[in-house]
Structure formats: structure tokens, C-alpha cells
Amino acid sequence: MTQQKVIKYCPSESKSNESMGVLFFNLGNRCMLRAFVAMYTLRKYYAGEAAIMLSEDDEFSNVVIDNLKPFNITPHFYKPVVKCRKNTGYTIKPDVLRQSPFYTTIYSDTDVIFKADPSVIFNTVKENKLVLTRYRDWVTTGRGMSKRIKSLSDMLPPEQIQAALDYGTAINTGVVGYQASEIKDFFDDWVKTTLKGEGRFIIDELVCQCICYKYEHAILEAAWNYSCREKDFTNSKIIHFHGRKHARPERFVSGKLWLEQYDELKKSKIIPKETMNKLIQWDRQVKKYEASTKKLVTIEKWYPSPVKEL
């Protein structure tokens, strides 16, 4: 199979003010199958520009590039700013996001499935320059979020920790909308502060929670970054399977929804069988699902109409 052309870098001066698209990024092989499922579901609703950022130092990047053509997704290379013993993806994420090839970007983590056309968010991003998504109904003063915020007390001043606790809304960086060239101060702060916590779990998200109060932004409803922990997915638009919960229907109702899309992609043979088998072996949860004697026999078909408004 012929590789797609990879654009090495995306200097900001080369971006048209009219360019906009959906962006993913990948590092290593563990999330690669989830990336293809995310792209597969995206194309059910969205026909616009889309790209994926790949590490030029990653031996697995070619596997993604070789199989992107059916999804009409453009690959771009980034160079990781650091390499950590663990949690490199979280550490480099802010720097990767600001290298977006689009002037107006809707970024999504790869562990999602789309149930709606995300292009309805573009106008909100254009109006606000930075758009974050709330996490469930959590608040910054809640036990879970306050503990996470206070965990950065060793690298942030007390007044900043307090401001983050006072902010109110808990956010999740699984879906973010932005115009990077318009919010350079935010990205400089996000990248620099995240690197201070190099190697920590979800450090990108914790830092964003602790700095966002300083910058103008809008918050999207949780439906656009809907936690897989919920029970009712009727009004969800993007379901986020954070924490490797994508193929665990015995624990999470949402697992059936992800597995439905995975099984459909697998049967479509869009990805060659040999490559699909590799992807399965690299994904711990799906590997367990495939080896299970209790595999789902039927999964309810559910294809909601694209959402037309926010």
C-alpha cells in the first residue's frame, strides 16, 4: 500500500484564516485502534477537513499513515518536546495541539465515538477563540476535582490553586476548540506549565483546569465530551471513553456502543485483516474482548440523526 504524503510541519503563517478542521493525535500503538474507530465514526457525520498529528520519532506512525486514505484524513508530523518514562502523551499534548494545521480547530482525543456532526462547534470557536468542555456535573470544589487541583500545589503558587478551586466548572481536555494563533498566551502558559509537571497522569488537563480562569473562553455542554461513565446516552454527541473503558460492556453500558462501531469497522474490511489483527493485539481491552467466551452476540443498532445546533 502506498503511503500518504505526510506534511512535516505547519507554520502558522501558512495557514489560511478560513481553514478549519477536526484534529486527532497519536503516539505509540496502544490507542491506534481507538483512533481508527474514532475516525470511522467521525466520517458518518462530518465530511470536512480532518487531520491527525503523528510523532516523527514513532516507529508505529507508518501503520497509521498506510491506512488513512479511506478516511480522507491528512497525516502531519510533530516532534515530541520531551520523552518521559510514562505519560508522555499527556505531557506533550498542549504543544502538539498548538501545531494544528488549521486556523480554527476542533481537537478530539482518539478514545471517542462521534454521534453528531462536530462542525456545529466551529462558529462557537470562531466567536470565542478558546472553547473547553465541561466534565459531567463535577465542580472544582468537589472531592475528586479539588484533590486533583491541589496535587499541583508543589508547582503552582497558593493563589493560583485557590483561583482554580474557585473557578467552579470541572473541565476535560478530551475535546477542545481553539484558534491557536489567536490565543498564543494561553498556549505558551499551557505548554510551559504542563512541562513543569512532566510525566504526571493527565497533567495537560490538570494544568488547563488551573490556568483557564486567566483567559477568556467558552464552555460547551458535557454532551460534546460525554463521559462513558454515564448511563443514558440519548443526548450525547461525542462519547469519551477515558481511562481505557471502551471495550468493557460488563462494567459500562457505553462499552456496547463502542464495540458496535468497532465490530462494524472490522467487518467492513476498510482496514486490511493483517493490520486489524495487529491493532487488536496492541489494544489490551479489545484483545480481552476478542478472547472472551462471553462476547456480545447482538448489540442494539443506534444511529441518531446528526445534531443541527448546540
In a domain, 45, yes or no: yes
* Per-residue pLDDT band at 291 (split at 50, 70, 90): confident
Q: Which of 190, 183, 196, 182 is nearest to 208 (CA)?
A: 190
pLDDT at 11: 45
Mean of all residue pLDDT scores within the chain: 90
In a domain, 251, yes or no: no
Cβ proximity of 299 and 289 under 8 Å = no
Length of the chain as a residue count: 310
Question: Which of 172-193 are b and which e, b meaning 16 or more Cβ less than 10 Å from the residue's Cβ?
Answer: bbbbbbbbbbbbeebbebbbeb
Domain of 104 in residue numbering reads as: 12-226
pLDDT at 252: 78
- In the chain, what percentage of residues exceed pLDDT 90? 78
pLDDT at 303: 34
In a domain, 279, yes or no: no
* Per-residue pLDDT band at 296 (split at 50, 70, 90): low
In a domain, 176, yes or no: yes
Structure confidence by residue, pLDDT tens digits, 131-184: 999 999 999 999 999 999 999 999 999 999 999 999 999 999 999 999 999 999
Euclidean distance between CA atoms 104 and 102, whole angstroms: 5
In a domain, 5, yes or no: no
Structure confidence by residue, pLDDT tens digits, 28-64: 999 999 999 999 999 999 999 999 999 998 999 999 9
CATH number of the domain encompassing residue 92: 3.90.550.10
pLDDT at 93: 98
Q: Give me the number of domains the chain comprises.
A: 1
Instruction: With H, G, I as helix, E, B as strand and everything else as coil, classify residue 74.
Output: strand
pLDDT at 251: 76
**243 or 6: which carries more pLDDT confidence?**
243
* Per-residue pLDDT band at 245 (split at 50, 70, 90): confident
Structure confidence by residue, pLDDT tens digits, 179-216: 999 999 999 999 999 999 999 999 999 999 999 999 99
Strand partners, 76: 7, 53
Sheet holding 169-178, edge to edge: 74-78, 50-55, 20-26, 104-108, 169-178, 130-139, 218-220
In a domain, 284, yes or no: no
pLDDT at 293: 56
In a domain, 3, yes or no: no
In a domain, 256, yes or no: no
Q: Which of 236, 254, 253, 112 is nearest to 175 (CA)?
A: 112
